[in-house]
Amino acid sequence: MAGNWKMYKTPADTHAFFEAFKPLVADAKNVDIVLCPPFADLHAAITETANSGIAVGAQNLYWGKEGAVTGEVSGHMLQAIGCQYVIIAHSERRQYFGESEPDVVRKIEAALEYGLTPIVCVGERLEEREEGRTEEVLATMFDGGLAPLAAEQFAKVVIAYEPVWAIGTGKTATPEIAEAAHRFIRGKVAEKFGADAAAAVRILYGGSVKPDNVTKLMSEEDIDGALVGGASLDPKSFAAIVNF
């Protein structure tokens, strides 16, 4: 269960979140919990989660270890500060910052080089769904962003299916719609990396996941977890999702 705070919260807010959140998930079992705050809050989050079993991730990274790349943060730096995960190619990065499939591959490789687990986002926009192009879009993202990886690299990747029309809109994909997309993605994994890789890969659903819809979504066979935006900002609601 991963939370994506996007561009919300200060370090003080981050401390307050974890003070409230940690006791609520202290008994959570058989679930990996990840919070992905903005860069400015990573230190606070990592301090707060020490020895708690809760992992911290970043929301983006730059490929390369260091260099004259003003405004960017490398996987090397994220590893050094204690991050364990990094979100790659969120639809907001694709849409507002023009991230393309070749960038996705470079970022995944950079994450893996520095021991970070990439959470790689794929998903169609509303017009693409309405035009019946969902599978085509997912296939293009898979072929361009994930298929070029070596099998050992792919084995360390988490995929997040996030239909863009469901993000921040309160319009969750129905469990059936989400399951169909997850099944399609798992099929692509099987074709490229084999049945074992397809069975092992974790595919998270993201898009308006809330405490009251998480149970149904998670009951679908191919949905292994969630990438939660808005509902991860509140310790009670994210804890309810983790503990569903």
d(CA 76, CA 36): 17
Instruction: For residue 93, give the nearest of 85, 83, 103, 106 by alpha carbon.
Output: 103
Q: Given CA atoms 73, 77, 81, 86 in this order, what sign does their dihedral have?
A: positive
Taking CB under 6 A as the rule, does residue 209 contact ligand PGA? yes
- Name the strand (E) or helix (H) holding 198: helix 195-200
Select which of 92, 99, 162, 179 is catalytic: 162
Site for ligand PGA in 212-231 (CB under 6 A): 227-231
Helices marked H in 62-118: 75-81, 91-97, 101-113
> Is 90 among the catalytic positions?
yes
**Which pair of tokens denotes residue 211?**
């405490």
Site for ligand PGA in 179-198 (CB under 6 A): none
Select which of 48, 90, 99, 179 is catalytic: 90
> Is 182 among the catalytic positions?
no
Taking CB under 6 A as the rule, does residue 207 contact ligand PGA? yes
Shortest reach from residue 196's CB to ligand PGA, in Å: 28
Taking CB under 6 A as the rule, does residue 167 contact ligand PGA? yes
Active site residues: 90, 162
Interface residue list for ligand PGA (CB under 6 A): 4, 162, 167-168, 206-209, 227-231
